[in-house]
Amino acid sequence: MKNPFESFRLPAAMLAGAGLLMALVAIPSLASSQTATAKKPTVEDARKFLADASTRLLDLSIESGRAQWVQETFITYDTETLAAKRNEALLGVSVDLAKKAARFDGVQLPADVRRQIDLLKRALTLAAPSDPAKTAELTRLAASLDGQYGAGKYCPPGGGACKTLPDLEEVMTNSHDPKQLLEAWAGWHSISPPMRKDYVRLVEIANEGARELGYKDTGALWRSKYDMPPDAFAAELDRLWGQVKPLYDSLHCYVRAKLNKQYGNDVVPLDKPIPAHLLGNMWAQTWDNVYWLVAPPNADPGFDLTQRLQEKKVDAKGMVKYGESFFKSLGFAPLPATFWERSMFTQPRDRDVVCHASAWSIDFQDDLRIKMCIKINDEDFRTIHHELGHNFYQRAYDKQPFLYQDSANDGFHEAVGDTIALSVTPDYLKQIGLIDRVPDPSKDLGLLMKKALDKVAFLPFGLIIDQWRWKVFSGEIKPDHYNQGWWDLRVKYEGIMPPVARSEKDFDPGAKYHVPGNTPYMRYFLADILQFQLHRGLCQAAGYKGPLHRCSIYDNKAAGERLAKMLEMGQSRPWPEALKEVTGQDKMDATAILDYFAPLKTWLDEQNKGQKCGW
């Protein structure tokens, strides 16, 4: 689910949902946008500017959304061209409005007006300098990096068919042969060295643009989006990581021991980080594909949800009806009739489509849709609950001004979807008649292990992508140490090491899309933290007293009311206020993850006795 294009919801789409060009906005220096002799703008000027800006952005966003929907559900040269044209038009207006927003930097404005002005400006990902030649160069570099990643293929030196990323990911997922896994890993990481030169120059130009906006560097610009000073936000991340590190360390120790038993000391030494190619994922960011190796004994929950769904002959629309019923049980209104008429639930037989699951609000009112190629299985059942979390969030804040129609911060939208998915528990499945009995608590370890291999294993990876970029933007990691800096962070936080020797001839960060694609990544770390904190707050609202991992808020109006209050706020208030509506806390708190996985942590620590943990 950790994909920057998961949900198309403008104005957030100016960051991630409308393609590469939305990340590039050229902003002139304040001196060029407002001369000393110009009349100082007034509060009324700001209000009028926002009203006009919102109208223009809304109209263009709807047009762009419709064009992108058609392009993704009916892929042809023409639909791609039309979608690109509408995105380009939206980009042009976004650039113009971001420039004009800088006029109000020195004006005393009411808090509500100031917040909307700042949100408009902070939508930038890369800020180009005022020099038109450098703006053009930055655009070219970003397009080149994105294109190099998209065209990446590994062509074996001895001949044979070249392999794309999906080809290599299939090897990483299914092979248990360390030689095959190493070839796939090294093959994909061979695509990125040519990106290094372009990336060095992109950093130089983007930093120049960020400084013109008053930020120390591009990393400081990115960290400014979280309703607190950039350095304070960085300190918050360190605090959160400190809370979850003991749980991660226990999981790491146990998994390494199992890998050592499978592959031997020569491949997996017990006193070193885990080689990155052995965890079932190209980037070792989630480890669920090694569940076969690390599953606790006798952990079978006693039911197969995929089998039960198929036995009941549930079809794709029926799968979505289950998800809608979850939200209706909380007190939310049913989805509009147009949702059922306009969504794409199954893969058409007559045309190419983008099957990646996504949630859409086309008109920022009632035209809600999901786009999926639903399979009748456990994974898609949970995914549907997640995607509808986006849709019900989108509808909840649709009364807000346009610039507030987004989640409290960029981690919240993903967190809400995942929070709902956490309520897909055996108790919930029994309540809705999909299983006959709830497994006894001894069977919980398997379910917790599967989830930990996804959620807990991801946490340090979610941190290091932007930690590396922030150090690059600040100059702490210099171009001649890009690769060394990358692996220093991976070893420090994850206990993951490269499976073969690396040097500065390599550019391993470029083998992860979000780096050449210039997509901020911290939102995914935040979502991983927030979903458990939100889940705990909603379970408390529901009056639930048992183990957190067994809680489902299904059919609880008190929990639904608390959730609705937060969703309705959108981005209108700083995110700590939104968080407090559900949790009673105005700070992110990772202890909810520790609560959720407490039985697994106890079990892991027992298994790890006598093992040398750490690296």
Residue 514 annotated among the catalytic residues of the structure = yes
Residue 414 annotated among the catalytic residues of the structure = yes
Which listed residue (387, 421, 578, 592) is catalytic?
Answer: 387
Backbone angles phi, psi at 229, to 5 degrees: -55, 145
Which listed residue (142, 357, 415, 457) is catalytic?
Answer: 357
Question: What is the rounded distance in angstroms from the CA atom of residue 11 to the CA atom of residue 405?
Answer: 7
Residue 277 annotated among the catalytic residues of the structure = no
DSSP 8-class letter at 490: I
The amino acid that residue 576 corresponds to is P
Helices (H), 213-311: 218-223, 230-263, 291-294, 305-311
Which listed residue (356, 379, 476, 504) is catalytic?
Answer: 356
Residue 173 is encoded by which pair of tokens?
């997922």
Walk across the sheet containing 368-371 and list its strands.
7-8, 358-361, 368-371
Residue 386 annotated among the catalytic residues of the structure = yes
Which listed residue (252, 386, 535, 549) is catalytic?
Answer: 386
Residue 536 is encoded by which pair of tokens?
């705990």
Which listed residue (514, 549, 559, 578) is catalytic?
Answer: 514
Residue 439 is encoded by which pair of tokens?
């497994």
DSSP 8-class letter at 126: E
Which listed residue (393, 524, 554, 596) is catalytic?
Answer: 524
- Residue 389 CB partners (closer than 8 Å, separation 6+): 359, 416, 417, 418, 419, 420, 421
What region does 351 belong to: left with phi over 0, alpha with psi -120 to 50, or beta? beta
Which listed residue (414, 482, 542, 581) is catalytic?
Answer: 414
Residue 341 annotated among the catalytic residues of the structure = no
- Residue pair 139/132 in contact (Cβ under 8 Å)? The answer is no
Which listed residue (390, 413, 535, 549) is catalytic?
Answer: 390
Please state, in angstroms and as integers, the Cα–Cα distance from residue 142 to each residue in 15, 21, 152, following that order.
14, 8, 16
Residue 357 annotated among the catalytic residues of the structure = yes
- Residue 292 CB partners (closer than 8 Å, separation 6+): none
**Based on C-alpha coordinates, what's the Rg of the chain?**
24
Catalytic residue set: 356-357, 386-387, 390, 414, 514, 524
